[in-house]
Amino acid sequence: MKKKLTGTITGAPASLGVPPHTNASAPAPNPLYLSLYCYPWDVLDEGPAAFAKLTRATGLNHINMASSYHGGKAFLPHNSRNRVYYIEDGAVYFPPSPQFFGGTKMQPRASRLAADHDSYLDIVEACEKEGVGVTAWTVFIHNSHLGTTYPEYTTQNAFGDRYLHALCPSQLAVQEYMRALAGNLASYPINAVEFECFEFISFRHYSFLEKEGTGVTPFAEMMLSLCFCPACLAAAKQRGVNGTAVEKAVKDWLEEYFEGKHRFGGGVGPKISSVSGLADYLEMRFAVLEDLFKDVAGILHARNKKAYLIIIGQEERRHYLSGIDLQRMGQVADAVTALFYARKPQEAPGIVREIRRAAGAKTAVHFAVRPGYPDAASPTDVLRLTEASLKAGVNGIGYYNFGLFEKFHLDWVRRAVGSITRGAIPARPPAKKVIRKGKPGSDPYIAVNVLRTDRD
């Protein structure tokens, strides 16, 4: 029998609190958001009640738990059931409700974890009893299962090829699915939904075994990633843009690229004007995502839930590959989450400064940090990552990921959190410009657990 979805997050001690939200019965807000990323299968292996107690004992006041995720293979060093776990592609980890998905053209794939029982609710309620808030960490538009099942709603490149891993956010059926997903999640007693892959997805997937014999520059990758499906062409027309002409210009440019021309590196921005109509077409994409994000976030806000936006490798305002304009979407998001992966502690102030410059000075910024391999080799490393993030002015830290790191790393987190909650965090130092080092052609974002590695 399914349990009724009721309740609010309560009971957190004042010393740690829970992230501020608008539930009337919530405790007094505390600006320090300390969280643990996790997958439901790892929580269920631990036991929901035991996991909630462990989270609280570590000094954390929140979890970011996957609610919908892409496929993959996870190595789980401390899971007692599976050390290697094949993730169901595009599944949701709760029983989809007909109240929300009854009329959608695309139907969600329910995980085997939700086949006979609402284990997602069990975890949320166990955390609620311990005063641990829950954010539903949700992959939205990247969904190979739905793309394979409904290819007519996926990205269509300038040559007419469909990208089955990439739903197109211009498609009405995709927008309908996104609203249903947000509405279903908002019916749970959670605090927030964290949006991952809420964007125009690149032609590169980073989960498939990519087969490429041609070097692809950042600008060429963007050109290959542009969608010219009927919905995108219609959205362009509504904004006075001749999408068909842009499609031809992009196709011609790529044909020349395949013949050895246009092989220049560097950033994307300065080259946009070289392709007729491209700038206006990119503006259409920014507008489509902004409107959809406002719509879906509005569903959450109406239910007193927060909306967090994950960005990967983006600090500038406009990210042409993904279509995310931080100034537009940052005004709607309750926080922007940046992956602080493969970074040095001293880089934190510059990253926070650049995100707030792009999204707005008052934007709440969260960092996701890895307290184990490959970013931390000792408790001191975790403490430095934690302190550097807070000194830089972030509003929250999420430690990634319970199932993937070795369990003793949780003790490293406990020691770091204990250190920073016992004493005041020193004033943040002046922000320094971020300097990325690496061999020519290398990318500092290529690291374990990072699926997309592009840079503008």
Q: Are 213 and 100 in contact (CB under 8 A)?
A: no
Residue with tokens 């909306």: 307
Residue with tokens 């008052």: 362
Task: Assess whether pLDDT exceeds 90 at residue 80.
Answer: yes
Q: Where are the beta strands (DSSP E) in 209-281?
A: none
Q: Which structure tokens are listed for 231?
A: 């919905």
The residue-averaged pLDDT of 76-85 equals 95
> How far apart (Å, rounded) are the C-alpha atoms in residues 396 and 300?
20
Burial 308-335 (b: 16+ CB within 10 A, else e): bbbbbbbbbbbbbbbbbbbebbbebbbb
Distances (CA, A) of 151 to 58, 90, 106: 44, 14, 11
> How far apart (Å, rounded) are the C-alpha atoms in residues 285 and 324?
8
Which residue range is the domain that position 222 belongs to?
33-422
Position 201 in a domain: yes
Query: What letter does residue 14 receive in the DSSP assignment?
Result: T
> How far apart (Å, rounded) are the C-alpha atoms in residues 333 and 356?
13
Position 4 in a domain: no
Position 433 in a domain: no
Position 22 in a domain: no
Q: Which residues pair with 194 in a beta bridge?
A: 137, 308
> How far apart (Å, rounded) are the C-alpha atoms in residues 353 and 351?
5
Radius of gyration of the chain (CA): 22
Position 26 in a domain: no
Position 19 in a domain: no
Query: What pLDDT score does 215 carry?
Result: 87
> How far apart (Å, rounded) are the C-alpha atoms in residues 19 and 361?
20
Query: What pLDDT score does 14 carry?
Result: 28
> How far apart (Å, rounded) are the C-alpha atoms in residues 342 and 369?
9
Position 268 in a domain: yes
The residue-averaged pLDDT of 59-79 equals 96
pLDDT higher for 423 or 145? Answer: 145
Position 304, amino acid: N
Query: What pLDDT score does 442 carry?
Result: 38
The CATH number covering residue 126 comes to 3.20.20.80
Task: Give me the number of domains the chain comprises.
Answer: 1
Pick the range with the lowest mean pLDDT from 20-34, 116-130, 150-164, 409-423.
20-34
Q: How confident is the model at residue 265 (pLDDT cuts 50, 70, 90)?
A: confident
Query: What pLDDT score does 207 carry?
Result: 62
Q: Which structure tokens are listed for 45?
A: 């292996």
pLDDT higher for 449 or 95? Answer: 95
Position 23 in a domain: no
Residue with tokens 């969600």: 108
Query: What letter does residue 442 receive in the DSSP assignment?
Result: -
